[in-house]
Structure 1
Amino acid sequence: MTVHETASAPAFAQLLRAQDATETVRRDLGECWAAVINAGGAVVPMGCRLPPVSPPQVEPAVEAIVQGLAPQRSRLLLASVGDALAGWVLLRREPHALEAHCGTVNHLQTHVRFRGTGVGAALMRRLPAIAREEMGLERLRLTVRAGLGLEDFYRGVGWTEVGRWPGALRVAPGDDRDEILMSLAL
């Protein structure tokens, strides 16, 4: 049987501080991220080349996220199935005073072994309550790369498209994509 056929509802955990991220968690985050990038996911970290990548190549990006964790500023929400990291997402408060009531969602990822099991949707359904109740946020935003159908996924979990930046993302020479801005009122 495949994981897809046997996956149960994910268990959730939050990382609030750098010390919450064990070496095992950091390794699992890097392995998940590399697998997602290599499967065509739109989550290539800054400073990392396009696929194929290995977990050590995304380690600096994982470490930067981990080092930026702080309960009221930045959190990682992890989804696990059994002992395996099935997915994760980053929630950050906007630092500017005029936007401090808003949060940004980055790097939603479902490990390729758990694609199609509802892990990504479960993370996105869990996130608004954390943002509102634990961080005091009133609105969330995220951006997605056009051409992958991601906007349909986010619409399906309650988000609204509020704008596009035409041709803002250059995936490859001659392959420019719109960046889609999405919003969720809490």
Structure 2
Amino acid sequence: MPLTFTFDPAVTPDLRDGILDLWADVSNAGGAVGFVPPVTREDIRPSLVQHFASMAEGRVRFLVGHDEEGRVVATAFLTRNTHHLMTHWLWLNTVMVHPRHQGKGYGRDLLAAAAGAARGLDGIEAIRLSCRGGIGLERFYESCGYKEVGRIPAAIRVAPGDDRDDVIMLLSLA
């Protein structure tokens, strides 16, 4: 069953709690979304509050996917550049699909919905994202049309002695 995507939904307590649950579940399943397991909702809350503050300032837009039961099961945040020479592309971050829904094509659906949302924004010609190397994410993003345009070796320290590359990917919207 397909997900229902909403761009810039109203932030309600239910939505906030759904995002916190999703983010914790994805992180604890080993997802590369800014944390390493074990993590709790309270560990994640400050990062979500930062996202919400950036949304209130108009710098970040939000895409959420709900399953047939209305649960938050996918997210992506679209962040505009503030540098005047880089306003023609935006960042896609905190891209998540709940582990129980992975392998169903929902990640592709989320990225397609994010590209559609970005195409609707004035002046946006490309989407950039970065992902943690070493777990196959770059192959997934490439299969969705993104190209690897840079790599910073050992930039992400997952644990002492476990450094991963920061892989920079780009999707042209032209």
TM-score bracket, normalised by the shorter chain, equals over 0.9
Confirm whether residue 60 of structure 1 aligns to residue 53 of structure 2.
no
Identity of aligned residues (%): 37
Confirm whether residue 95 of structure 1 aligns to residue 88 of structure 2.
no
2:153 corresponds in structure 1 to: 166
Supply the distance in 2 between the matched residues of 1:65 and 1:146 (Cα, whole angstroms).
24
TM norm structure 2: 0.93
Structure 1 residues 16-165: aligned runs within 5 Å: 20-44=10-34, 50-69=36-55, 73-82=59-68, 83-165=70-152
Note if contact 1:12-1:77 (Cα within 8 Å) is conserved in structure 2: yes
Ranges in structure 2 where 5+ consecutive residues have no aligned partner: none
Supply the distance in 2 between the matched residues of 1:66 and 1:87 (Cα, whole angstroms).
16
The residue matched to 1:97 in structure 2 has which SS? Answer: coil
Amino acid at match of 2:6: A
Question: CA 1:69/1:116 → structure 2, altered by over 3 Å: closer, same or farther?
Answer: same
Amino acid at match of 1:10: L
Amino acid at match of 2:5: F
Ranges in structure 1 where 5+ consecutive residues have no aligned partner: 1-7
Amino acid at match of 1:137: I
The residue matched to 1:140 in structure 2 has which SS? Answer: strand
2:2 corresponds in structure 1 to: 9
Amino acid at match of 2:8: L
Question: CA 1:22/1:71 → structure 2, altered by over 3 Å: closer, same or farther?
Answer: same
Aligned-pair RMSD on alpha carbons?
1.5
For these two proteins, the number of residue pairs brought into alignment is 172
TM norm structure 1: 0.87
What displacement does 1:67 show?
1.9
- Deviations 1:79-133, CA, capped at 9 Å, x for gaps: 1112111111110111110111110000100112211122111010111121122
Deviates more, 1:60-69 or 1:28-37: 60-69
What displacement does 1:134 show?
2.8
